[in-house]
Structure 1
Amino acid sequence: MEKKGKIRTGIFGGSFNPPHIGHLAIANYICEFEKLDEVWFMVSPHNPFKNESELMSDELRLKLMQLAIDEYPKFKVSDIEFYLPRPSYSINTLQKLKESYPDRLFTLIIGADNWQVFNKWKDADKIIDSFEIFVYPRGGYEIDELNLPKNVKITNSPIIEISSTFIRESFIEGKDLRFFLPEKVYTELKKHGINKTLFY
């Protein structure tokens, strides 16, 4: 895999429904400690493993992600998957990025939970052969590091057990979780009205 002179760019995909401090902390750690130049948050319009009706609108989730990263220069937001065939598959996204940005070396960032089912991903072997993969730890998901493919690395990023599902359900129950979200994200959600209608 050619690395010399390329801009090392991590791809952190997800529905970000909504984006929270866990997403940002993990990406921040990987960017700073795994020597990536940037991390791009790839907002997905529809995950093949999720019901599309669970998602807030594409436009709102994209806006929330842009608000979340604020002015941290190493974070970017991408909406490229909005313009690719649906459902969104990582292999299609990564190949499109590689074609569109030949000056960059792309690294896929996923959680240990996703790594355990990675063999179910579309063209999983092709992803492993063509791209570096960073796996961040998740509680309850053990990985045998001795038998990992050469392009796959387990990061030492902290385990942060916060989920977007927990945040949505807690807000619907009337809980105030403002410190689980970047301030600008919380403010924008309040503007739209944090309730079941917004999230579903």
Structure 2
Amino acid sequence: MRAGLPLAPPGLRVGLLGGSFDPAHQGHVRITEEALRRFRLDRIWWLVSPGNPLKPHGPAPLAERMANARRMMQHPRVAITDVETRLGTRMTADTVAALQRLYPGVRFVWLMGADNMVQFDRWDRWAEIAARLPIGVIARPGWRMPARFSRAARILGPARLPDEQAGLLADCRPPVWAMINVPMSKLSSTAIRAGRA
């Protein structure tokens, strides 16, 4: 195992929540806690990215974002990680493939907000990601319906679990996805950054 990576024995259900977390906020905490419970995950790893190819302006320095994320998310089953930096990966497909090689038998689930589901078909090798691991989508204000009718959702339509079966997601064979409704928070990193400017 590479230095600095979390420990995870085979069979563990681990949700992966990627993002720039620029900055991490209470909305991230809320969706993490809901995802742990509703998808019946054993752990969630926040993958604090070195950068985001879909965002035109670079985020704050990684060390600053990691420190803020650790202050914000203090839960015994949540790890704040810089996995992509340690693995030297930038694209989600590469990160997922590397983690699956390093952790054989771990049941990874990719977690994303409904806003990301809307643009998921623009991600590099998005269909490969969907074929590699289950996807848990968390509703966000204003994005629930656009996510349900997004191009990726239409293509992956037959692979969607009914809402009441979301707790089985980690044990299902991909491609499979589920979307959960959670108490809504209008907090966003973009709005927080704008407020600081």
- The normalised TM-score by structure 2 is 0.77
SS of 1:110 mapped into structure 2: strand
Q: Aligned to 2:20, which of 15, 20, 30? A: 15
Q: Return structure 1 stretches of 4+ with deviation > 6 angstroms.
A: none
The Cα of 1:65 is off from its aligned counterpart by 1.3
RMSD over equivalenced CA pairs, Å: 1.8
Q: 2:39 aligns with which of 30, 34, 40?
A: 34
Counterpart of 2:86 in structure 1 is 83
Say whether the 8 Å CA contact 1:18–1:61 is kept in structure 2.
yes
1:131 maps to what in 2? 133
Q: In structure 2, what is the Cα distance between the partners aligned to 1:155 and 1:35?
A: 12
Partner of 2:52: 47
CA contact (8 A) 1:128 1:149 kept: no
Preserved CA contact (<8 Å) 1:109 1:136 = yes
Once the 2 structures are TM-superposed, how far is the Cα of residue 27 of structure 1 from its aligned partner? 0.6
The size of the alignment, in residue pairs, is 165
Aligned partner of 2:79: which letter? K
CA deviation after TM superposition for structure 1 residue 45, in Å: 0.6
Q: How high is the sequence identity, in percent, across the aligned residues?
A: 29
In the alignment, structure 2 segments of 5+ residues that lack a partner are: 1-9, 161-175
Structure 1: distance between partners of 2:159 and 2:126 = 12
Cα deviations by residue, 1:124-145 (Å, 9 ceiling, x for unpaired): 1111111000001122221147
Quick one: distance in 2 between partners of 1:24 and 1:121? Answer: 24
Structure 2 distance, partners of 1:148, 1:90, is 23
3-state SS in 2 of match to 1:77: strand
SS at match of 2:159: coil
2:65 to 54, 61, 64: 61
SS of residue paired to 1:125: helix
Is 1:166 aligned to residue 191 of structure 2?
Answer: yes
1:149 aligns with: 159
Which ranges in structure 1 are unaligned for 5 or more consecutive residues?
A: 173-200
Relative to the length of structure 1, the TM-score reads 0.76
Q: In terms of Rg, which structure is larger?
A: 1
Note the C-alpha offset of 1:51.
2.8
Q: 2:101 aligns with which of 99, 102, 107?
A: 99
Deviations 1:113-164 (A, max 9, x none): 1111211111111111110000011222211478252411011222222111
